[in-house]
Amino acid sequence: MTIEGRNGNHDRPIRLGMVGGGKDAFIGAVHRIAARLDGCFELVAGALSSTPEKAVESGQALGLAEDRIYSSFEDMAKREARLKNGIEAVAIVTPNHVHYPAAKAFLKRGIHVICDKPLTSTLADARKLAKVVGESSALFFLTHNYTGYPMVRQARELVASGAIGKVRLVQVEYVQDWLTVEQHNKQAEWRTDPKRSGLGGATGDIGTHAYNLACFVSGLAAESLAADLQSFVPGRQVDDNGHVLLRFEGGARGMLWCSQVAPGNENALKLRVYGEKGGLEWHQENPNYLHVSPFGEPTRIITRGGAGMSAGVAPTTRIPAGHPEGYLEGFANIYKEAAGVIRAHRGGDGLASLVPGIEEGLAGVQFVDACVRSSSRNAAWVKM
Amino acid sequence: MTIEGRNGNHDRPIRLGMVGGGKDAFIGAVHRIAARLDGCFELVAGALSSTPEKAVESGQALGLAEDRIYSSFEDMAKREARLKNGIEAVAIVTPNHVHYPAAKAFLKRGIHVICDKPLTSTLADARKLAKVVGESSALFFLTHNYTGYPMVRQARELVASGAIGKVRLVQVEYVQDWLTVEQHNKQAEWRTDPKRSGLGGATGDIGTHAYNLACFVSGLAAESLAADLQSFVPGRQVDDNGHVLLRFEGGARGMLWCSQVAPGNENALKLRVYGEKGGLEWHQENPNYLHVSPFGEPTRIITRGGAGMSAGVAPTTRIPAGHPEGYLEGFANIYKEAAGVIRAHRGGDGLASLVPGIEEGLAGVQFVDACVRSSSRNAAWVKM
Amino acid sequence: MTIEGRNGNHDRPIRLGMVGGGKDAFIGAVHRIAARLDGCFELVAGALSSTPEKAVESGQALGLAEDRIYSSFEDMAKREARLKNGIEAVAIVTPNHVHYPAAKAFLKRGIHVICDKPLTSTLADARKLAKVVGESSALFFLTHNYTGYPMVRQARELVASGAIGKVRLVQVEYVQDWLTVEQHNKQAEWRTDPKRSGLGGATGDIGTHAYNLACFVSGLAAESLAADLQSFVPGRQVDDNGHVLLRFEGGARGMLWCSQVAPGNENALKLRVYGEKGGLEWHQENPNYLHVSPFGEPTRIITRGGAGMSAGVAPTTRIPAGHPEGYLEGFANIYKEAAGVIRAHRGGDGLASLVPGIEEGLAGVQFVDACVRSSSRNAAWVKM
Amino acid sequence: MTIEGRNGNHDRPIRLGMVGGGKDAFIGAVHRIAARLDGCFELVAGALSSTPEKAVESGQALGLAEDRIYSSFEDMAKREARLKNGIEAVAIVTPNHVHYPAAKAFLKRGIHVICDKPLTSTLADARKLAKVVGESSALFFLTHNYTGYPMVRQARELVASGAIGKVRLVQVEYVQDWLTVEQHNKQAEWRTDPKRSGLGGATGDIGTHAYNLACFVSGLAAESLAADLQSFVPGRQVDDNGHVLLRFEGGARGMLWCSQVAPGNENALKLRVYGEKGGLEWHQENPNYLHVSPFGEPTRIITRGGAGMSAGVAPTTRIPAGHPEGYLEGFANIYKEAAGVIRAHRGGDGLASLVPGIEEGLAGVQFVDACVRSSSRNAAWVKM
């Protein structure tokens, strides 16, 4: 074991701000733990809620200094950019429709952005944001956190190395059940409101993760898709189930299923990739194992930290095999790697990393847009 | 435990003949074991191969009397129909294209038919056979054997009882890997030859099982489907992978994936059904368990023979919980139930049973036909 | 696939009788199915119950000829031995205390015996029976059926081949829950009655299976053991739980746990063997898989009928990988192999087989005796 | 979700020091991440190694101020106790033989101690430390971290509530394979050196965890045990495998198996508890699930954060069901709860918590001592 988090780097933690993530939020706390886990970031400012009282209350609960608690991200961006020790990066963990304006406010002022997915609530916003990122001196990261799991990295490396041969099939599914009936909590409300969530429901919220994961591991992008989206719960304005056929560049085919109305499934993200020489399978809910099946040989169980794991994957694990890592550790890998890129950037250097960014974000919104377009035309094939 | 097989019935075993199933065949041996397992049938005649030497050799190996070994099913049908103690039923276990003529030969002579799936190699044959069955005094059974598994029966009963509410989603997959590369054994040869197998490859061989299982458990039939079929192995004349979107009567949706080129999958038939109130999941490769998830409650594991199994399902199991039953026992349930229907028929009575017959067979060939039609039109929706 | 059961042998089925196994019995039906499954035996006579009416009723239900239905095994042994086409072998499936007198009656008359386990209800009987077997011209087989599972054979072969190195540890458990509370059915009554079952309860009924399996796979025998037996249910006269420490010849150590009072366990027989170079694990309730772990390498999943299975194991499977076999098929392997030995014996030849016999039976009763002796001395070490 | 970690408490983080945990250590990094994960502690001082250069280098890597980096715990204890903002608590993560002197140095100066397990390397030290704790105004916590897993808490609560009835059986095992062959890394060296590790090898290193977990969940303590310990690897001075029979107060019985020489097992800690009315089962390597089996009903799968989890367990989880938590989160629960107790203590209040302390530590060393005593007397029963 090395000293965790710092990678032998004596650098001080990166000063981080946060937009969204106040009381009753879910993903904000996840980002904070992920940022803190390896000691690479220090949360020093926040516009944690658009409701001023809640913003203050939440900032105090997190121990922020009074004068670094903001009730608008605009104010935060302006003031922090001028402070001598202002934030160097900001985590954006708001509902989707705020991603674009918030990210823009910080990127224009040279503050790095770590943004939750999907990139934006509309394709128009996504394209505008891509333009902003291209013109900014600051960095942009998107937390498609499932790519941070060590065994997902292992799967990607195996495919890239040719271990399973040319890819033929990519089967991915991301299945939940929490929206099986109408829900009235805060999470359900904005995630099923097309104004805040975007046109996609399940497709946007979890389908984008599934699509990103499929591409990340297979190394392929879809050229076209055919989607049959449903809203099973009466009155729901966005899809709560999506059945999608995929055609990838180079001839591979795939299926993607995303659902939030499948009782018994909590957060069942599962990927299977098959090539001419072998197959592999990974389940997010028991993420420390990767099943690899060379054709004609017994299936092998590669374990995180154990025999069969590649050297290149090792930096993404913290503890020995058999001591399970989970969702937060995978998420923290995104933050740790983003920290490495930010630190290199300080010195004027670029650093290759696997952290998703604007391209993956744009691809995700294009995926949702294509699903909605296809479904509105009776699941006709549409170009991505 | 009761005395097995006889159900308290002192009746002598039913005299059975077999068409196909000689040396190097696979499914013939399965039918013979299934027929024998509960003591309900006695194999007394066979046209086990269209090659006369092989027919004789195979018949002798099975201990058939010399004069009950035939080299053509026509001869067998004619002669057995005239014998005083001729066969009462025949099992047809040939390649698909022989199903229709063979079944016709026996049905016309009042001999019951137990036929392997798919029903026929063409839709035209299927329709003709349906007509023959309708006009015959004899019975027709189709070995969609997976419906014989006790936990499949349990699943069907739970859905029918409303335990999971109105069905919304049916996800079924049947995945193998044996055709990942080109194969030159007898099984591979006829199963990938459209003249003998029919236009469907994986769709016909295993997709029909998957579709039948989905309908059997959900109680629904598909109204339309969209299929994207592939032949990944160069030179292969039939599909070896099928991605299918399903729309069921009443609004339920589904996905069906059948593949014979997915390394690491042996015979991975898996069904998941989700309704407004709950979900259930069953895997053929570990068939003694059924996962049932009432929405908002912990998942229950119902076990074959154990707590939670319904009384109506009990007759399909032979041994106590924890003593696993498998493929052959499920298959034998089809034979045992067919025997019950045949025995009632002897006395002029009808007997309700869940054994698939001509309707399910026709639906299966329609499924293949629809898949091929849809795929040839770029996965357009087609009516079943 | 070859023609099943006959192994290319045109021999007629072996004529079989049965002692015990009438209505309300459990294991008798299992033996009959196992005998019938491969077509190697034909049941022609029975003393199925010591209650004459039940003997007749059960014999009729099974289709036996009236004059081959007996109400005492003595009568059956005497008469069948004189018949021209009398039984060649008998299956003994009574409560344990009848095994010795019944086996003796047939062995003395040259009729082969296939006996359920444990061998006898007392060690004295076991020794006497061993003597009888030694003096008989007939063969003796004991249905430690779990040794018939293909993946158990595979495990044994791997250990014997040195694949896991010198064995250090053998961990075996056989856990059920059906006796968690007092039961009043026939099975529970005789199995908890020391007069019929023997001094051991769980140790005799299932501990003997576990011990046999451990020895079969590891190739080792225990030299001594220390056992802490319990009767948790008030009033129970035999143990319902056994905790046993084992010391094997050559220095290996082990633990054996047998219980019939562990809720949630149906028939959870599980074996793990660890050597200097690797380990392996097998579960009876999902028996088609064997996990093999070479030290320092990923675990492999060897599947019945699939890649990694040895050629020597193949004759014990009937159907392809992914089509699960279960308890009855494993049990039928014992019958099929016994048939092979009996047929060779007809011709005056011996045939090596892995079917357990008198030695394994004697070892099982010694195991129970040692457990009871040790437990009565506060779990002191006792020699086997 | 609430704001994580602070529980609505605006208190500043607790100032933490660390003894041990420098480069090449394993558990030190785990403690640091656990302390940091919820933001309850701030690491400000360290005596990270007894080698001065390594102490400095490690302290710098962790960003400690130069004057808070010590090369002896004595110096650290003395100086920090005098500093105005000196450490309030210290984590002791050294080899076992240092636990006692280090803990004593801090406790005597009123600094709270969070100590890794086992408590000490000898029973004499354990007793002396218990005396020191009793006389100190400061608090003492022991990181039997597996008790921090939410589903372990759930199991404990179910047992305590009577859900499985009076406990009859406790089966626990903790199995690894990393010492299957002789190892020469730092971790292996001190853990197999009786001077540093104590008389127990596997029993001390992991057996104590298993014993603690068994007691924590069952609510029982062992009265006596019989242990058969082995050192399979030639030259090893401590046990690498332990087979232990347990007799608990009130009549329950158990088995404990700890091993570090079982290939294929990474960190396989598994607990099963059975009572008169039901059973439960938990595996550390997939820790988000608890199987609960009421006798006569189907097994339920209770999931962390999901349906069936008790309200009292909720504070130990951070993220929704299906988003797996792992080893670090369970470990962090110990730190988070210790922080709560420390904060209440600041205000002069006591706070009940489930964090293990001196009693559990003493019980663990007594367990090792009893195992060694029993094994040296041929596995005779010894009192705990």
Tokens 């407004």, residue?
B276
B354 Cβ neighbours under 8 A, 6+ residues apart: B147, B153, B156, B216, B337
* DSSP line for B319-354: S-TTS---HHHHHHHHHHHHHHHHHHHHTT------
Minimum-distance CB partner of A243 among B180, B245, B281: B245
Mean pLDDT calculated for residue range B88-106: 97
> Please, are residues C277 and B314 in contact by the beta-carbon 8 Å criterion?
no
Minimum-distance CB partner of C379 among D181, D230, D381: D381
For residues B150 and B307, the model is more confident at: B150
Q: What is the Cα–Cα distance from D33 to D21, expressed in whole angstroms?
A: 12
Q: Which residue of chain C comes nearest to B145, CA vs CA?
A: C323
pLDDT of residue A24 exceeding 80, the answer is no
Mean pLDDT calculated for residue range C147-159: 98
Omega before residue A118 within 30° of 0, cis: yes
pLDDT at B8: 43
pLDDT of residue B1 exceeding 60, the answer is no
pLDDT of residue C111 exceeding 90, the answer is yes
Q: Which residue of chain C comes nearest to B36, CA vs CA?
A: C37
Cβ distance A241 to B169 less than 8 Å, yes or no, reads yes
Tokens 């991440």, residue?
D33
Tokens 């190892």, residue?
D183
Q: What is the Cα–Cα distance from A248 to B216, expressed in whole angstroms?
A: 33
pLDDT of residue A11 exceeding 90, the answer is no
Q: What is the Cα–Cα distance from C376 to D102, expressed in whole angstroms?
A: 47
Burial of residue C127 (CB within 10 Å: 0-12, 13-18, 19+) is middle
User: What is the assigned CATH class of domain C14-142?
Assistant: alpha beta
Burial of residue C335 (CB within 10 Å: 0-12, 13-18, 19+) is buried
What CA–CA distances, in Å, run from B287 to B176, B301, C283, C317, D109?
17, 12, 15, 18, 63
β-pairing, C112-115 vs C89-92, is parallel
D147 Cβ neighbours under 8 A, 6+ residues apart: D153, D212, D213, D216, D334, D354, D355, D356
Quote the pTM value: 0.96
* DSSP line for B34-95: HHHHTT-EEEEEEE--SSHHHHHHHHHHTT--GGGB-S-HHHHHHHHHHSTT--SEEEE-S-
Q: What is the Cα–Cα distance from A156 to A312, expressed in whole angstroms?
A: 11
pLDDT of residue D10 exceeding 70, the answer is no
Structure tokens at A301: 């169980």
What CA–CA distances, in Å, run from D275 to C76, C228, C275, D157, D169?
47, 18, 34, 14, 7
pLDDT of residue B163 exceeding 90, the answer is yes
| pLDDT category of residue B178 using cuts at 50, 70 and 90 | very high
Task: List C residues 301-320 in contact with A (Cβ-Cβ < 8 A).
Answer: 301-303, 306-308
**Residue C221: how many CB atoms within 10 A of its CB?**
17
pLDDT of residue A106 exceeding 60, the answer is yes
For residues B331 and B194, the model is more confident at: B331
C347-367, pLDDT tens digit by residue?
Answer: 888 888 999 999 999 999 999
Mean pLDDT calculated for residue range B352-356: 94
pLDDT of residue C6 exceeding 50, the answer is no
Q: Which of A349-358, B205-214, C9-18, C303-312 has the lowest mean pLDDT?
A: C9-18
Identify residue A150 by its one-letter amino acid code. P
D373 Cβ neighbours under 8 A, 6+ residues apart: D382
Q: Enumerate the residues of chain B whose CB falls inside 8 A of the CB of residue C284.
A: 322, 324
φ/ψ region of B308 (left if φ > 0, alpha if ψ in -120 to 50, else beta) reads left
Q: What is the Cα–Cα distance from A276 to A278, expressed in whole angstroms?
A: 6
pLDDT at D163: 98
Does A255 contact chain B (CB < 8 Å)?
Answer: yes
Which letter does DSSP use for residue A13 in this model?
P
C261-285, pLDDT tens digit by residue?
Answer: 999 999 999 999 999 999 999 999 9
Min Cα separation B286/chain A (Å): 17
The domain ranges of chain C are 14-142, 147-320+363-383
**Which string of b and e fits D223-238 if b means at least 16 CB within 10 Å?**
ebbbbbbbbbbeebeb
The answer to ipTM > 0.90 is: yes
Rounded to a whole number of angstroms, the distance between the first and last alpha carbons of chain D is: 44
B30-84, pLDDT tens digit by residue?
Answer: 999 999 999 999 999 999 999 999 999 999 999 999 999 999 999 999 999 999 9
Q: Enumerate the residues of chain C whose CB falls inside 8 A of the CB of residue D274.
A: 259, 261-264
Cβ distance D245 to C228 less than 8 Å, yes or no, reads yes
| pLDDT category of residue A2 using cuts at 50, 70 and 90 | very low
Q: What is the Cα–Cα distance from A307 to C296, expressed in whole angstroms?
A: 6
Identify residue C227 by its one-letter amino acid code. A
Q: Does domain A150-319+363-383 have CATH number 3.30.360.10?
A: yes
D43-100, pLDDT tens digit by residue?
Answer: 999 999 999 999 999 999 999 999 999 999 999 999 999 999 999 999 999 999 999 9
Task: List D residues 95-114 in contact with B (Cβ-Cβ < 8 A).
Answer: none
Mean pLDDT calculated for residue range D313-331: 97
Q: Enumerate the residues of chain A whose CB falls inside 8 A of the CB of residue B264.
A: 274, 278-281, 291-293, 299
β-pairing, B268-275 vs B253-259, is unpaired
Cβ distance D266 to A303 less than 8 Å, yes or no, reads yes
Min Cα separation C202/chain D (Å): 15
Q: Which superfamily, per CATH, for C147-320+363-383?
A: Dihydrodipicolinate Reductase; domain 2 (3.30.360.10)
B242-261, pLDDT tens digit by residue?
Answer: 999 999 999 999 999 999 99
Q: What is the Cα–Cα distance from D59 to D17, expressed in whole angstroms?
A: 11
Does D163 contact chain C (CB < 8 Å)?
Answer: no
Mean pLDDT calculated for residue range A152-164: 98
R_g of chain A computed on alpha carbons = 20
Does D265 contact chain C (CB < 8 Å)?
Answer: yes
Mean pLDDT calculated for residue range D360-384: 97
Identify residue D383 by its one-letter amino acid code. K
D253-277, pLDDT tens digit by residue?
Answer: 999 999 999 999 999 999 999 999 9
A249-305, pLDDT tens digit by residue?
Answer: 999 999 999 999 999 999 999 999 999 999 999 999 999 999 999 999 999 999 999
Cβ distance C295 to D255 less than 8 Å, yes or no, reads no
Mean pLDDT of chain C: 95
pLDDT at A23: 83
pLDDT at C188: 84
Identify residue B68 by its one-letter amino acid code. R
**Residue C382: how many CB atoms within 10 A of its CB?**
18
Q: Best mutation site among A299, A300, A303 for testing chain C: the one with the most C CBs within 10 Å?
A: A299
Query: What percent of chain A clears pLDDT 70, i.e. is strictly above it?
Result: 97
Q: What is the Cα–Cα distance from A357 to A338, expressed in whole angstroms?
A: 10
> Please, are residues C341 and C43 in contact by the beta-carbon 8 Å criterion?
no
Q: Which residue of chain B comes nearest to A297, CA vs CA?
A: B264
C74-94, pLDDT tens digit by residue?
Answer: 999 999 999 999 999 999 999
Q: What is the Cα–Cα distance from D9 to D341, expressed in whole angstroms?
A: 13
Min Cα separation B230/chain A (Å): 8
Which letter does DSSP use for residue A313 in this model?
G
Secondary structure class of D116 (helix, strand, coil):
coil
> Please, are residues D203 and D229 in contact by the beta-carbon 8 Å criterion?
yes
C155 Cβ neighbours under 8 A, 6+ residues apart: C217, C271, C273, C280, C282, C290
C284 Cβ neighbours under 8 A, 6+ residues apart: B322, B324, C146, C149, C267, C268, C269, C270, C327
Rounded to a whole number of angstroms, the distance between the first and last alpha carbons of chain A is: 44
Min Cα separation C325/chain B (Å): 5
Q: What is the Cα–Cα distance from B11 to B32, expressed in whole angstroms?
A: 19
Minimum-distance CB partner of D243 among C253, C275, C279: C253
Cβ distance D60 to A318 less than 8 Å, yes or no, reads no
Tokens 């029982």, residue?
D220
pLDDT at D191: 86
| pLDDT category of residue B24 using cuts at 50, 70 and 90 | confident
> Please, are residues C342 and C336 in contact by the beta-carbon 8 Å criterion?
no
Nearest Cα neighbor of A146 from D61, C177, D324, D53 is: D324
SS3 content of chain A, % helix, strand, coil (to 5): 40, 20, 40
Identify residue C47 by its one-letter amino acid code. A
Nearest Cα neighbor of C124 from C290, C362, C374, C340 is: C362
One of 3.30.360.10, 1.20.59.20, 3.40.50.150, 3.40.50.970 is the CATH number of D149-319+363-383, namely 3.30.360.10
Min Cα separation A2/chain D (Å): 6
Task: List B residues 185-214 in contact with D (Cβ-Cβ < 8 A).
Answer: none
Q: What is the Cα–Cα distance from D207 to D198, expressed in whole angstroms?
A: 13
* DSSP line for D196-213: HH-S-SHIIIIIHHHHHH
pLDDT of residue D8 exceeding 60, the answer is no
Mean pLDDT of chain B: 95
Q: What is the Cα–Cα distance from D237 to A263, expressed in whole angstroms?
A: 54
Cβ distance A267 to D30 less than 8 Å, yes or no, reads no
